[in-house]
Structure 1
Amino acid sequence: MAEKLAPERHDFVHNGQKVFEWDQTLEEVNLYITLPPNVHPKAFHCRIQSKHLEVGIKGNPPYLNHDLSAPVKTDCSFWTLEDDIMHITLQKREKGQTWASPILGQGQLDPYATDAELITTSESLRYLTEAGGPKSTTNTELCGGIRI
């Protein structure tokens, strides 16, 4: 598992209501959306574009329809449904970049916590660089083990 930039999930809240939870690693941003009950899993859709995310129930206005804070690799990003949770994995185009929020212009992490996380991340990146770093360049390994 990749090293977390943030030690726990963060709540994304709008108008006092939790919209989703999220976390990030050096390579990806993960969103966790609690799905409404009594809706068949095949009714949900998720469209991941380089700089935009759309999530909703087919035939209805999207639940989320927003630009992302930074570009993602669409060929390595994906979503799954499990136990009434939609898990969206967005592969960062710029590895190691810290996102203040998945949604452009919304929310911000605690700057003191972010600074501490960046120091840890920088130390880890320096260690990997000095140790020669990963040697793999296959698509499967670049996309976190997912075969595409």
Structure 2
Amino acid sequence: MSDQPDAAAEKELRLKEAVEQAALPYAWKQTIADVDISVPVPVGTRGRDLTVVISSKKIKVGLKGQEPIMEGDLPSAIRVDESTWSLEDQKLVEIHLEKVNAMEWWPHVLTHHPKIDTTKISPENSKLSDLDGETRAMVEKMMFDQRQKEMGKPTSDEQKKLDMFKKFQEQHPEMDFSNAKLG
């Protein structure tokens, strides 16, 4: 059986998605932790001409006295205090939204707009140095344990048990540990 029909259907879906996204009155991109939106406005627009309202679950962008360019519900909550907007070159409103749940991809910016297939997103490689201390330590431990397993050696937790057992053996030479099982 050939994969051609699947590949053709996949390509058609990608094309449909691209057309739907291009038809939106804004462009957007995201990382796992944030969303950036670019909203074109007429050249010469000043900040005082704009109405930009960002709340934890809603957003509204437009020119004062006119219908909003974009308005509606966000798919998930954002951190309002860490989200910003600015007017670039008097023609583009740039909006940065910090996701509350920094572990999810958004299928769309406004819930009434067409969705993208979030399963096709390939995340950017993050550096360990970008992570906070606790997360970094956890990731480094997981990486160490994975390497140990690949080499057939004990993981950090298994090594800790072995060390404790060895210490106990040394403290109790009178005991027979020949049938002892760790696990």
Aligned to 1:24: 30
Instruction: Give the Å deviation of 1:81.
Output: 0.9
Please state if 1:102 is matched with 2:109.
yes
CA distance in 2, matches of 1:63, 1:28: 21
Larger Rg: 2
Compare the two structures and name the one with the higher strand fraction: 1
- Contact (CA 8 Å) 1:51, 1:72: kept in 2 or not? yes
Please state if 1:92 is matched with 2:107.
no
- Contact (CA 8 Å) 2:51, 2:61: kept in 1 or not? yes
Q: TM-score, normalised by structure 2?
A: 0.54
Tell me the matched-pair count.
117
The residue type equivalent to 1:42 in the other structure is R
Q: TM-score, normalised by structure 1?
A: 0.65
Q: Which has the higher contact order (CA 8 A, sep 6+)?
A: 1
- Contact (CA 8 Å) 1:13, 1:20: kept in 2 or not? no
Aligned to 1:64: 70
Please state if 1:44 is matched with 2:50.
yes
SS at match of 2:48: helix
CA distance in 2, matches of 1:13, 1:19: 11
- Trace 1:124-139 onto structure 2 (pairs within 5 A): 128=136, 129-131=138-140
Compare the two structures and name the one with the higher helix fraction: 2
Uncovered stretches (5+) of structure 2, i.e. residues with no partner:
1-16, 142-183
CA distance in 1, matches of 2:106, 2:118: 12
Aligned CA distance change for structure 1 residues 103 and 111 (closer, same or farther; 3 Å): same
CA distance in 1, matches of 2:19, 2:78: 19
Over the aligned positions, Cα root-mean-square deviation in angstroms equals 3.1
CA distance in 2, matches of 1:46, 1:12: 26
SS at match of 1:71: coil
CA distance in 1, matches of 2:19, 2:85: 18
Uncovered stretches (5+) of structure 1, i.e. residues with no partner:
1-9, 133-148
CA offset digits 1:39-98 (Å, max 9, x no partner): 333201210011000111112232212000111011111101112211111110101211
